[in-house]
């Protein structure tokens, strides 16, 4: 059974509010609607977004999805909900299942899990994985009623990929080479980086993790993003900060200057009487948004620069200004 990460499809966190889920859906639905987006994959993406929203907008369906993962429909169809004893069994949302039988093993909970797994997935032959006899030569296990369940999944692999600020902002494809920490095997993958990825965010690549014993499904690759320092910008959340150097006469009289952005440069007006430290704000020109997160702003902080060496004429003008002006910045 293929796992569908509905939260990932909408680009929201698992703890997102219903309003955040609705906003993310509306944004993606507009982006991928076949009447608007003529790309070949747009219609399929539009359907995926709709399917995810249909589940997550419904409180009861979302609870079942969070609890049972890909098996939420089967759990919903079963009369009376989950089997007796399942209340103490935790199933983590995510590819595959993470079962928690509580402190001390909980034999009753194990039987409840075995019963539910059997009803959901079926299988054939063999003995219970929780008590005595009959292993599965194909890497899976067998339930107490003699049906074989799915084979055990391989281990997940975590890795880090460093991206430049512009690369992370625009997204795109990147080739990475990884080594499995358990087997030492190396593999080269082409990874699609979504636009607007910040440091610490993770990409889950299903089936690209460790190999499973007995031919079971491979684990997943969890790719953690790290942003490399950029000499022009400082990132704060999704806001970008940069320095804008201006000449003394530009600061005093006003003028215009070019401010660097992630997609080129933009000309801005410098108000007359601008002092060092004043910030000029460019709305929406910061780091791009992702999912329900909006793009940040770009702040250009003014820094007044003076010539390292003055010509005779420049020195004369500055001396005349000093003698004429009554301005005292320390007053």
Ranges under pLDDT 70 in the chain: 1-3, 70-150, 180-183
As assigned by CATH, the class of the 234-324 domain is mainly beta
Neighbours of 227 (CB within 10 A): 19
pLDDT, position 260: 95
Q: Is the dihedral of CA 53, 56, 61, 65 positive or negative?
A: positive
pLDDT, position 279: 97
Residues facing residue 222 across a β-bridge: 158, 204
Question: Which residues, including other chains, have CB under 8 Å from residue 323's CB and lie 6 or more apart?
Answer: none
- Give yes or no for a contact between 200 and 224, defined as CB atoms under 8 angstroms apart: yes
Residues of the chain with CATH 2.60.260.20: 157-227, 234-324
Half-sphere exposure of 103 (CA within 13 A, CB side): 0
- Give yes or no for a contact between 199 and 227, defined as CB atoms under 8 angstroms apart: yes
Residues of the chain with CATH 1.10.287.110: 6-121
What is 38-67 written as a DSSP string? Answer: -STTHHHHHHHHHHHHHHHTSHHHHHHHHH
CATH of domain 157-227: 2.60.260.20
pLDDT, position 149: 58
pLDDT, position 123: 44
- Give yes or no for a contact between 139 and 168, defined as CB atoms under 8 angstroms apart: no
Q: Specify the CATH superfamily of domain 6-121.
A: DnaJ domain (1.10.287.110)
pLDDT, position 150: 63
> Which pTM value belongs to this model?
0.53
């Amino acid at each position: 059974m293929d796992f569908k990460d509905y939260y990932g499809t909408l680009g929201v966190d698992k703890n997102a509010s219903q309003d955040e889920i609705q906003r993310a859906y509306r944004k993606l639905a507009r982006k991928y609607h076949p009447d608007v987006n003529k790309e070949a994959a747009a219609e399929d993406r539009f359907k995926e977004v709709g399917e995810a929203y249909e589940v997550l907008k419904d409180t009861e369906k979302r609870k079942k999805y969070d609890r049972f993962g890909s098996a939420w429909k089967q759990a919903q169809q079963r009369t009376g909900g989950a089997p007796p004893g399942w209340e103490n069994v935790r199933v983590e949302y995510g590819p595959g299942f993470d079962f928690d039988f509580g402190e001390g093993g909980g034999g009753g909970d194990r039987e409840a899990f075995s019963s539910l797994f059997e009803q959901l997935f079926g299988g054939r032959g063999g003995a219970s994985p929780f008590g005595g006899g009959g292993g599965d030569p194909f890497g899976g296990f067998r339930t107490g009623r003699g049906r074989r369940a799915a084979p055990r999944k391989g281990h997940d692999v975590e890795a880090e990929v460093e991206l430049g600020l512009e690369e992370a902002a625009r997204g795109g494809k990147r080739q990475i080479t990884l080594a499995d920490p358990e087997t030492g095997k190396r593999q080269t993958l082409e990874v699609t980086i979504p636009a607007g990825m910040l440091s610490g965010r993770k990409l889950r690549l299903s089936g690209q993790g460790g190999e499973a014993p007995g031919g079971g499904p491979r684990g997943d690759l969890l790719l953690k993003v790290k942003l490399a320092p950029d000499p022009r910008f400082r990132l704060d959340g999704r806001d970008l900060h940069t320095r804008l150097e201006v000449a003394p006469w530009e600061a005093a009289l006003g003028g215009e200057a070019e401010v660097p952005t992630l997609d080129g440069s933009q000309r801005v007006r410098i108000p007359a009487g601008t002092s060092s430290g004043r910030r000029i704000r460019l709305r929406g020109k910061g780091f791009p948004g992702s999912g329900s997160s909006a793009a940040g702003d770009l702040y250009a902080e003014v820094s007044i620069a003076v010539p390292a060496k003055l010509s005779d004429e420049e020195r004369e003008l500055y001396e005349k200004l000093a003698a004429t002006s009554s301005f005292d910045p320390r007053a």
